[in-house]
Amino acid sequence: MRRLIWLSVFAAIAIAYPLLLSSPFQQRLGALVLLYAIAASAWNIVGGYAGQVSVGHVVFFGCGAYAAMGSYAKFGLSPLFGIPGGIVLAVGLAAIIGVPTLRLSGHYFSMATIAVAETMRLIVTNTDWLGAAVGLSGPTVPRNIFDLSFLSSLPYYYLFLAILAITLLITWWMTNSRMGFYLRAIKDSERAARSLGAPASRTKLYAFMLSAALTSVAGALYAMMFGFVDPESGFGILISVKILIMAALGGAGLLFGPLVGAAILVPLEEISNSWLGGKGAGLTFVLYGAIIVVIARFQPGGLLSLFKRRGKPTKDTGASHAP
Amino acid sequence: MSFVLVQVIVGGLLLGAVYALFSSGLTLVWGMMNIVNFAHGDFVMLGMYVAYVVYTLMGGGPLLGAPLATLVLATVGVVVYFALIRDIMKGPMLAQILGTFGLALLLRYSVFWWFGANFLSMPQDIVGGTYAFAGLRIEASRLLAGVVALLVTLGLHLLLTRTSLGSKMLAVAEDQTGAQLMGIRPDTMQAVAWAIAAGATGLAGALIANFFYIVPTVGETLGIVAFVTVSLGGFGSVPGALVAGLMIGVIESLSGYLIGAIYKDIVVYVLFLLFLWFRPQGLMGKT
């Protein structure tokens, strides 16, 4: 009951935020927090719940972004029509990465994700059909509402809020389904879970595919809001880093962890960019690196795990011990 | 076979020897402690910058730069081991991967912040000249890098298999408690392993700095090369890393020459994925 009250309070705040703080900067900031929260929550499904650390998650983000922009730039359709294509592409890539590596120890999975992301970035950069290094642009002037191209950030804010709610609902539903029980058992001890008949590799693969599909949607939304995508913003490692650090800072494997991480880090980055200007670009990522190292060393469960009931060892919120 | 092709293969072998050198550091740590250092490529990058700074500040060539880079990176390795690795090793997988991945970012963007994103390079004549040998033309800087890397990698193998230090490290890798009962300190041995692994990257970085482009993000590419080499050679195996490193050097050079320079990385990454699909234990590795 108390959880329900808290939840409605937070939902009310989220709905009222852009009306109370209504400057364009604040609305844009709010929309960006929600956008990154969607991507980080999607990462959380495989990185947090399944305990498989993807360090190249941007590859799915890029699939969605390129599919959305491609559907406009190549076929003159609304970017919305690209979303299913992006999802199919992302899920297919997830299978290519996941099928061989999810049988092995988690290190192989992480290495494969980074290699695939880098491969895609190189391929896209050298493909003229996809705009090579320049990338693809969306509609400059919206033809109708389905182009989802708005000047104000307000429509994006509510769109992202709705998608985030759906993402969290799917995650919540997953944790309470059979799949969620399997994942928890596998994270505790994969060997024990296997011996009791839990299909470990397959469950992890499903989680990975679900995560890839949702990340691809986040990428499509990103491209629609910014109106373009290029190889760096679509497949660059720095987007992977942002997704990963938001989930890890807030709390990997906790439902609201990624949202908390995004709500802290997105404003931090915007502020440091506006204060430091171009000089800050490198410094922001020095800080990100330092934050990641400190989390890994001292609080692998993330910030939210500090508020969990005492008596539970914080170790359990991280991934399984490598066999 | 045309001379050009032979030339390309020889160039690939020389570069591959350097790949083998820094990859044997990764394979040593992986095999001994079951931890993958995601900052390994960035260690190589640091080595390149140490060599660059030695040249610009002190005017020293590779004779000064290479030993100094080895020493600096070995120190970095020991510090990283005691400050970070020792603790995250006992933690969950998430912490292990995040820890070294965060370290990679920290190193990469500290260098980026300090030196900027520009491509730097060493002067052409720092290791002067080109050797002509039976119709082949080999740059002295590449020859030096390849030969030194090959010798050091072989030396590393001998160190691990023929000395008491190597046996002690192997003992710790096999069974920590057992090693402790025999009076071997696991902590010391693992710190030594990190010093050797990071020192190898420092030397490799200083060697390729003479002819490679020097840029903060080079660590990502080299890191993936090290992953590919180690998974090809089988983890924990220095001879495996040597053979795999030479192979990857040749494959990269050949695909750069035959298909186009921009595709040489793609070919290596795709090869990596194929190996994960069909032979994850590597060419000669144990499962």
3-state secondary structure chain B: CCHHHHHHHHHHHHHHHHHHHHHHHHHHHHHHHCCCCCCHHHHHHHHHHHHHHHHHHHCCCHHHHHHHHHHHHHHHHHHHHHHHHHHHCCCCHHHHHHHHHHHHHHHHHHHHHHHCCCCECCCCCCCCCEEEECCEEEEHHHHHHHHHHHHHHHHHHHHHHHCHHHHHHHHHHHCHHHHHHCCCCHHHHHHHHHHHHHHHHHHHHHHHCCCCCECCCHHHHHHHHHHHHHHHHCCCCHHHHHHHHHHHHHHHHHHHHHCCHHHHHHHHHHHHHHHHHHCCCCCCCCC
Which residue did the predictor score with more confidence, A8 or B133? Answer: A8
CA A43, CA B88: separation in Å to the nearest integer?
22
Q: Compare all CA atoms of chain A with the CA of B261 and give the residue at the minimum distance.
A: A126
Q: What is the pLDDT of residues A247-268, one digit of tens each?
A: 999 988 899 999 999 999 999 8
Q: Which residue in this structure is represented by tokens 């400190």?
A: A294
pTM, to two decimals: 0.89
User: Chain B partners of A241 at a C-beta cutoff of 8 Å?
Assistant: 105
B286 confidence band (pLDDT: 50, 70, 90): low
Which residue did the predictor score with more confidence, B232 or B195? Answer: B195
Q: What residues are paired with A137 via a beta bridge?
A: A228
Q: What is the pLDDT of residue A311?
A: 46
Number of Cβ pairs closer than 8 Å across A and B? 159
Give the type of residue at A80. Answer: L
Report how far apart, in Å, the C-alpha atoms of B161 and of each of A285, B140, B155, B226, B282 are: 41, 32, 10, 22, 21
CB contact under 8 A, B228 and A318: no
Asked if pLDDT for residue A321 goes beyond 70, the answer is no
> What mean pLDDT do residues B176-181 have?
88
Asked if pLDDT for residue B133 goes beyond 80, the answer is no
Average pLDDT, chain B: 89
Q: What is the pLDDT of residue A194?
A: 87
Q: What is the pLDDT of residue A18?
A: 87
Find how far residue A22's CA is from the centre of its chain. 26
Q: What is the pLDDT of residue B1?
A: 59
Report how far apart, in Å, the C-alpha atoms of A273 and of each of A222, A225, B136 are: 19, 19, 52
Identify whether the C-beta of residue A230 lies closer than 8 Å to the C-beta of residue A57. no
> What mean pLDDT do residues A189-204 have?
88
How far apart are the two ends of chain B, measured CA to CA in Å? 38
Please report, rounded to a whole number, the percentage of residues in chain B having pLDDT higher than 90.
Answer: 52
Calculate helix-pair angle for B40-58, B218-233, nearest 10 degrees: 130
Calculate helix-pair angle for B238-258, B264-278, nearest 10 degrees: 130
Query: Which range among B132-146, B189-203, B228-242, B270-284 has the greatest average pLDDT?
Result: B189-203
For the purposes of burial, counting CB atoms within 10 Å of the CB of A137, is it exposed (0-12), middle (13-18) or buried (19 or more)? middle
Asked if pLDDT for residue A38 goes beyond 90, the answer is yes
Q: Compare all CA atoms of chain B with the CA of A251 and give the residue at the minimum distance.
A: B94
User: DSSP letter at A47?
Assistant: I
CB contact under 8 A, A297 and B88: yes
> What mean pLDDT do residues A292-312 have?
79
CB contact under 8 A, A119 and B270: yes
Identify whether the C-beta of residue A55 lies closer than 8 Å to the C-beta of residue A112. no
Chain A touched by B99 (CB under 8 Å): yes
Using DSSP's 3-state secondary structure scheme, residue A319 falls into coil
Among A34-48, A212-226, A309-323, the least confident range: A309-323
Return the structure tokens found at A217.
């949607």
Please report, rounded to a whole number, the percentage of residues in chain A having pLDDT higher than 70.
Answer: 93
Identify whether the C-beta of residue B98 lies closer than 8 Å to the C-beta of residue A300. yes
Strand B136-139 with B130-133, pairing? antiparallel
Q: Compare all CA atoms of chain B with the CA of A300 and give the residue at the minimum distance.
A: B95
User: Chain B partners of A288 at a C-beta cutoff of 8 Å?
Assistant: 102, 105, 109
Identify whether the C-beta of residue A223 lies closer than 8 Å to the C-beta of residue A65. yes
Identify whether the C-beta of residue A298 lies closer than 8 Å to the C-beta of residue B98. no
Chain A touched by B277 (CB under 8 Å): yes
Identify whether the C-beta of residue B200 lies closer than 8 Å to the C-beta of residue B194. no
Q: What is the pLDDT of residue B284?
A: 64
Q: What is the pLDDT of residue B285?
A: 57
Using DSSP's 3-state secondary structure scheme, residue A112 falls into helix
> What mean pLDDT do residues A20-28 have?
87
Closest Cβ–Cβ partner in B102, B220, B277 for A296:
B102
Pick from B22, B236, B40, B29: nearest CA to B150: B22
Chain B touched by A271 (CB under 8 Å): no
A301 confidence band (pLDDT: 50, 70, 90): confident
Q: What is the pLDDT of residue A23?
A: 87
Asked if pLDDT for residue A30 goes beyond 90, the answer is yes
Asked if pLDDT for residue A323 goes beyond 50, the answer is no
Please report, rounded to a whole number, the percentage of residues in chain A having pLDDT higher than 90.
Answer: 42
The helices-and-strands tally (H runs, E runs) of chain A is 13, 2
> What mean pLDDT do residues B234-255 have?
91
User: Chain A partners of B273 at a C-beta cutoff of 8 Å?
Assistant: 96-97, 100, 112, 115-116, 119
Nearest-Cα distance to chain A for B222, in Å, is: 11
Nearest-Cα distance to chain B for A18, in Å, is: 34
> What mean pLDDT do residues B124-137 have?
75
Q: What is the pLDDT of residue A320?
A: 44
Angle at alpha carbon of residue B208, lines to B204 and B211, rounded to 5° = 175
Within 13 Å, how many C-alpha atoms sit on residue B52's CB side?
Answer: 21
Chain A touched by B232 (CB under 8 Å): no
Find how far residue A301's CA is from the centre of its chain. 18
**Rounded CA Rg of chain A:** 19
> What mean pLDDT do residues A157-183 have?
94
Q: What is the pLDDT of residue A314?
A: 47
CA B194, CA B196: separation in Å to the nearest integer?
5
How many other CB atoms sit within 10 Å of the CB of residue A300?
26
User: DSSP letter at A229?
Assistant: E
Which residue did the predictor score with more confidence, B282 or B188? Answer: B188
ipTM of predicted complex: 0.86
Which residue did the predictor score with more confidence, B201 or A139? Answer: B201
Chain A segment 11-50 residues within 8 A of B by beta carbon are 47
Identify whether the C-beta of residue A212 lies closer than 8 Å to the C-beta of residue A223. no
Q: Compare all CA atoms of chain B with the CA of A281 and give the residue at the minimum distance.
A: B113
Identify whether the C-beta of residue A292 lies closer than 8 Å to the C-beta of residue A23. no
Report how far apart, in Å, the C-alpha atoms of A251 and of each of A301, B38, B169 are: 5, 21, 36
Average pLDDT, chain A: 87
Chain B touched by A118 (CB under 8 Å): yes
User: DSSP letter at A228?
Assistant: E
For the purposes of burial, counting CB atoms within 10 Å of the CB of B42, is it exposed (0-12), middle (13-18) or buried (19 or more)? buried
Handedness of CA A9, A14, A19, A22 (dihedral sign): positive
Asked if pLDDT for residue A312 goes beyond 60, the answer is no
User: Chain A partners of B219 at a C-beta cutoff of 8 Å?
Assistant: none
Handedness of CA A23, A25, A28, A30 (dihedral sign): negative
Q: What are all long-range contacts of A148-152, with beta carbons under 8 Å and residues at least 24 apart?
A: A148/A78, A148/A79, A148/A80, A148/A224, A149/A224, A149/A227, A152/A24, A152/A27
Using DSSP's 3-state secondary structure scheme, residue A185 falls into helix
Asked if pLDDT for residue A315 goes beyond 60, the answer is no
